Amino acid sequence: MATSEAIETALRDAAAERARLVRLDDDAITVTVDVAGVKASDHDAIEQAVRGAVEPLRGERKLRIALTAERSKPRLIAVGSGKGGVGKSTLAANLAVALARRGRSAGLVDADIYGPSVPTLLGREGVKPEAENQKLHPVDSDYGVPFLSMGQLVDAGQAVAWRGPMAGKALTQLIDAHWQAKELVVDLPPGTGDIQLSMVQSHKPAAAVIVSTPQDLALIDATRAITFFDKAGVPVIGLVENMAGYVCPHCGELSDPFGSGGAEAAAKALDLPFLGRVPLDIAIRTASDAGIPPAAGDSVQGRAFLSIADKVIDWMEGHGHAA
């Protein structure tokens, strides 16, 4: 008779982590398959794959397969900034990619109504999500990070005119989707407007990460965003300094067009962890425009994002959010 180990191995090969052997009796094998987030039209195929895998090991035993859709809501990590253009979307996308590379089950929600750029950053411009039971299915990317974006709901430019309730509804569509990911990085619009309010009122994030450039003005705005999350009772994991130090593509010399170390000093003054520094580097912009997140590779730029993700993971593990 086949051992439970042999059956578990066959299940893993057939349905990744979805199928579980829950009982092995003398006369029956009972398997559950978690189909949370899987389209109904694909359920049969998954069940057949599981059946096919166990069939050779079944012997005289009956095979019972139960499809389940238990799903806990993903936890949300908001990425915010005081103002636009500081690289918040770039950081959000690369953080999600880096989390996935570290084995976390991560997805990305692009809630930036002013400039939804995640489809571009993940190389999936123009791809529309499918809906089932009035809920969206996230779109896959090549980087292990499924995503949904405001840019997929409306044409460019339209969302900017939305008033609070419309924006809140759109946010809910993106968050209450058929997610399988366990944690969602949410790229918020800059500042502290309607979307941020809906976010903390209806979909309270587990934590927030704030991005700033090193200039004083950007840091003053970032402080406002930090205060906003503080007041809403959302813990701020820390501050990221983006566009710090310019690496000349010709001579490799490092200069500081926007100053440097400002965010680290501000984090210290605010008693917040400093999560790391991402240099101002043309390679980041060209890769981002080409839909290849630097965090997917092993360049110096990619490592900066991975190191920030490691600090975020440390925080989550320290706060009961294991992988």
Q: Which is nearer to ligand ADP, 32 or 90 (CB)?
A: 90
Please tell me whether residue 218 binds ligand ADP under the rule CB under 6 A.
no
Q: Which is nearer to ligand ADP, 65 or 292 (CB)?
A: 292
Q: Give CA–CA dist 300/297, Å, rounded.
A: 9
Asked if 61 and 28 touch (Cβ cutoff 8 Å), the reply is yes
Stretch that binds ligand ADP, among 12-20, 32-40, 77-85, 226-234 (CB under 6 A): 77-85
Stretch that binds ligand ADP, among 36-44, 51-59, 95-103, 276-284 (CB under 6 A): 276-284
**Coil/strand/helix, residue 212:** strand
CB of 87 to ligand ADP, least distance (A): 3
Considering only 81, 105, 196, 198, the residue that binds ligand ADP (CB under 6 A) is: 81
Please tell me whether residue 291 binds ligand ADP under the rule CB under 6 A.
no
**Number of chain positions touching ligand ADP (CB under 6 A):** 19
Q: Which is nearer to ligand ADP, 46 or 276 (CB)?
A: 276
Q: Which is nearer to ligand ADP, 81 or 105 (CB)?
A: 81
Q: Give CA–CA dist 235/226, Å, rounded.
A: 9
119-123 long-range contacts (CB < 8 A, ≥24 apart) are 119/147, 119/149, 119/151, 119/152, 120/288, 120/289, 120/291, 121/89, 121/90, 121/93, 121/288, 121/291, 121/293, 122/93, 122/147, 122/291, 122/293, 123/290, 123/291, 123/292
Stretch that binds ligand ADP, among 14-22, 82-90, 128-136, 165-173 (CB under 6 A): 82-90
Please tell me whether residue 196 binds ligand ADP under the rule CB under 6 A.
no
Stretch that binds ligand ADP, among 5-13, 85-93, 158-166, 267-275 (CB under 6 A): 85-93
CB of 212 to ligand ADP, least distance (A): 10
37: left (phi over 0), alpha (psi -120 to 50) or beta: left
Burial 59-84 (b: 16+ CB within 10 A, else e): eebeeebebeeeeeebbbbbbbbbbe
Phi/psi for 67 (5° steps) reads -90, 130
Angle between helices 43-58 and 4-15 (to 10 degrees): 150
CB of 79 to ligand ADP, least distance (A): 9
Please tell me whether residue 84 binds ligand ADP under the rule CB under 6 A.
yes
Considering only 159, 175, 234, 278, the residue that binds ligand ADP (CB under 6 A) is: 278
Please tell me whether residue 280 binds ligand ADP under the rule CB under 6 A.
yes
Stretch that binds ligand ADP, among 83-91, 103-111, 158-166, 226-234 (CB under 6 A): 83-91
Please tell me whether residue 260 binds ligand ADP under the rule CB under 6 A.
no
Considering only 85, 164, 165, 257, the residue that binds ligand ADP (CB under 6 A) is: 85
Range 171-190, binding ligand ADP (CB under 6 A): 190
Q: What is the DSSP string of 159-198?
A: GGG--HHHHHHHHHHHHSS----SEEEEEPPSSSSHHHHH
Please tell me whether residue 192 binds ligand ADP under the rule CB under 6 A.
no
Range 107-126, binding ligand ADP (CB under 6 A): 115, 117
Q: Give CA–CA dist 140/149, Å, rounded.
A: 12
Phi/psi for 117 (5° steps) reads -115, 0
DSSP state of 234: P
Q: Give CA–CA dist 5/81, Å, rounded.
A: 49
**Coil/strand/helix, residue 112:** coil
Q: Which is nearer to ligand ADP, 64 or 285 (CB)?
A: 285
Q: Which residues are at the interface with ligand ADP (CB under 6 A)?
A: 81, 84-90, 115, 117, 190, 242-243, 278, 280-281, 284-285, 288
